[in-house]
Amino acid sequence: MTDLYYFFKNNFRKVGFGWLLTFFSSFGQTFLISLYVPEIVRDFQITEGTFGAIYAGCTVISSIVMLTVGHTVDHKPVKKVTAFTIFSLAFSSILLGFSYHIGLLFIALIGLRLTGQGLMSHISMTVISKYFDKNRGKALSISSLGYSMGEAILPVIIVLLIGWFDWRIASIASGCALLIYLIRLKFTNLADFDKQLSGEGRPSTLSLLKDYKNVVFQKKFGIMMPASFALSFTITAIFFYQYVFVEDKNWSVQLYATFFTVYAVTRFLFSLFGGMWVDKYTAKVLFRYFLIPLTLGILPFAFMESIIGALLLLIMAGITVGMSGTVQTALIAEMYGTAKMGAIRSVFTMFMVLSTALGPLLVGFLIDLKIPFSTIMLILFGLMALICLNSLRIKNEKYLSN
C-alpha cells in the first residue's frame, strides 16, 4: 500500500483526470438512470416493459455508434475529445429534463448511454493505459475508483433533488454540473497524454474495418470478449431486478439495501488490490481467476434461505467488479499493445454496452415467463462457469509489444 500511496502522490493530476471521467460517467450508467424510471413511466404514461424496450434499443444503438467514435482517442488531442464528450453528456442530461415527447426521450437516452457509460469510461481507461506502462495497474485501479464514488454519492444527491423538485430538475442539474466541469477542463493541462497519439492521423473507414476484423477474428478475442460480455450481462441483470429477487425470497428490502455498503467497500478495496496485483503478476494471470468470486456468489444468492446469501453475493460481486476494469483494460494493453488501443478497446466496449442491454431484457423475459428465481440464477451461474473455463485459455496466448 505504501507504493500505491507514493504513486498516487507523484501522479495525482494524471490519475485524478482518469478518476473524474469514471466518476462523471455515472450520469450515463444504469444505476443512476434507473432513479428516473418511475417518474418517466408516469409522465409518459407507458409501462415499465415499454420503457425497458426503449432503454434496451437506445443502449444497442449507442454500442454500435461506439465503434465509429471510439478510435478518436488514438489520434485526436485528449482535451478536445474529452471536452466534446462532456458537452454531449451534459446536453443529453439537459435534453432528458426537457423531454416532453417520446422522440426526445429516445435521443437523450442514446446520448447518455453513448457518452456516459461508453465514451467517458473509454477515454479514461484508454489514455491512462497508454500513458502508464510500468505502473499501469495502479493507475487504472485509482482511476476506476470513480465508479465506486459515483455509486456512493450521486444517487443520494439525485434522490434528494427528485424529492425536493422533480426528476426533470435533477436531470437538468446533472447537465449543469457537467458544464461546470467543462469550464474547469479548459484550464487543465493534458499535453502529456497527447505524447501517445498516433502520427498517422484519422484512419479511413476501410482501415478501421480492417483493424476491427483483425481483432474479432483472433483467438484471444474469443477468450477475452466473452468474459467482458458475461460479466456485464450478469451483474446488470442481477442488479436491475435485485429488489424483485429479494421480494421473491421474502427478505427484508431495508436490510438488503444496507448490505450495499459492504458491496461498495469491497469493490473499492479490490479496485486497489487489483491494480497492485496486475503490476505484480500481470493482467494475463489475474484474468484467469477474477470471474470466479462472482460466479460462486450466485449460488448462495439463489439457494440460501437466509438473507446472508445476498450478503455473500454482494461481497463476491464486489471482488470481481472491483478488479474487472483494471484487469480487462490492462489485458488489452498487454495482448494488443497501446498504439491502436482506442480503436481496439472500442470493440470490447461495444460488446460490454450491448450486454448491459441484453441482460435485463432477457432476464426480464424469463421473469415474465414465471421461471423460478432459483432457475434464473442457475442459468446465470452456468453461463459464468463456462466463461471462467474459457478464460483459462488465455494462458497460451502471447503478448504483443508496441
Q: What is the DSSP string of 196-207?
A: G--TT-SPPHHH
What is the residue range of 284's domain?
A: 8-396
In this prediction the pTM is: 0.83
Burial 247-279 (b: 16+ CB within 10 A, else e): eebebeeeebeebbeebbebbbebbbbbbbbbb
The pLDDT assigned to 55 comes to 87
Q: What are the backbone dihedrals phi and psi of residue 269, each rounded to the nearest 5 degrees, phi first?
A: -65, -45
Contacts of 3 (CB under 8 A, 6+ apart): 138, 276
Give CA–CA dist 313/294, Å, rounded.
7
Residue 365 is assigned to a structural domain of this protein: yes
CB 341 within 8 A of CB 74: yes
Q: What is the DSSP string of 293-319?
A: HHHHHHHHHHH-SSTHHHHHHHHHHHH
The pLDDT assigned to 332 comes to 87
- Domains identified in the chain, total number: 1
Give CA–CA dist 70/347, Å, rounded.
8
The pLDDT assigned to 83 comes to 95
Give CA–CA dist 101/46, Å, rounded.
12
C-alpha cell at 171: 436531470
CB 148 within 8 A of CB 264: yes
Q: How many Å from the N-terminal Cα to the C-terminal Cα in the chain?
A: 29
Give me the CATH number covering residue 277. 1.20.1250.20
Residue 78 is assigned to a structural domain of this protein: yes
Residue 181 is assigned to a structural domain of this protein: yes
The pLDDT assigned to 31 comes to 80
Determine the residue type at 127. V
Give CA–CA dist 240/28, Å, rounded.
15
Residue 281 is assigned to a structural domain of this protein: yes
- CA nearest to 90, candidates 67, 70, 116, 66: 116
Give CA–CA dist 377/278, Å, rounded.
30
CB 133 within 8 A of CB 259: no
The pLDDT assigned to 197 comes to 66
The pLDDT assigned to 316 comes to 96
The pLDDT assigned to 402 comes to 45
Angle between helices 219-240 and 308-336 (to 10 degrees): 150
Segments of the chain scoring below 70 in pLDDT = 1, 196-208, 211, 339, 399-402
Residue 313 is assigned to a structural domain of this protein: yes
Residue 63 is assigned to a structural domain of this protein: yes
The pLDDT assigned to 401 comes to 47
Measuring CA to CA, how many Å separate 31 from each of 35, 172, 234, 235, 297?
7, 18, 14, 11, 21
- Let me know how long the chain is: 402
Residue 134 is assigned to a structural domain of this protein: yes
Cα 193 versus chain centre, distance: 22
SS3 370: coil
Residue 1 is assigned to a structural domain of this protein: no
